[in-house]
Chains A and B, each alone.
Chain A
Amino acid sequence: NAGVTQTPKFQVLKTGQSMTLQCAQDMNHEYMSWYRQDPGMGLRLIHYSVGAGITDQGEVPNGYNVSRSTTEDFPLRLLSAAPSQTSVYFCASSSLRTSGINEQFFGPGTRLTVL
């Protein structure tokens, strides 16, 4: 199993450019999510999905779009990049239980810089 994979590992964008961060998992997990990690801010949830065709907003969704057309893939789109979106982005997946989200598996992260 590859687990959770993310591409690219590093990216530099200019203000106003668009791009898609890719995330894929091969564990058949229902739940997938995107976080951003900034110094001193911990992890902040951007968007999440509990299954194919279902997405919802997290704590900081503005400026980001997601879709979940398959169980395996959960891409994150930046439509018009801004310097405030400079951050490290993590994708995570987990199975769902009646008692809540199970252990989350994280990808290695994408370090994004917006100039």
Chain B
Amino acid sequence: AQSVTQLGSHVSVSEGALVLLRCNYSSSVPPYLFWYVQYPNQGLQLLLKYTSAATLVKGINGFEAEFKKSETSFHLTKPSAHMSDAAEYFCAVSEGQGGKLIFGQGTELSVKP
């Protein structure tokens, strides 16, 4: 069975600081991995995805994530946080690009001025 663990339900950073949101996965088959962002009262928006091509994946809004098979991790980073990055972030795994997604519990990112 597949699963996702996001370390830290809440992360707070200062504006301009590095953002690091952690995600570890468990999968019996090569995984497809995703990061989604959810702004208040909105649906989920895809930030980036890993589909077995390059291990460093670049997404929208300056975010990127690195797939590390040896660590079963897919951490999300952004070099410099912006106030508009404040939202909830979800890591997800699926057995295929179009298969059902198994989500982590989410990490709420706060950005302090």
Do A and B interact with each other, yes or no? Answer: no
Interface of B toward A, CB cutoff 8 Å? none
**A interface with B by C-beta (< 8 Å):** none
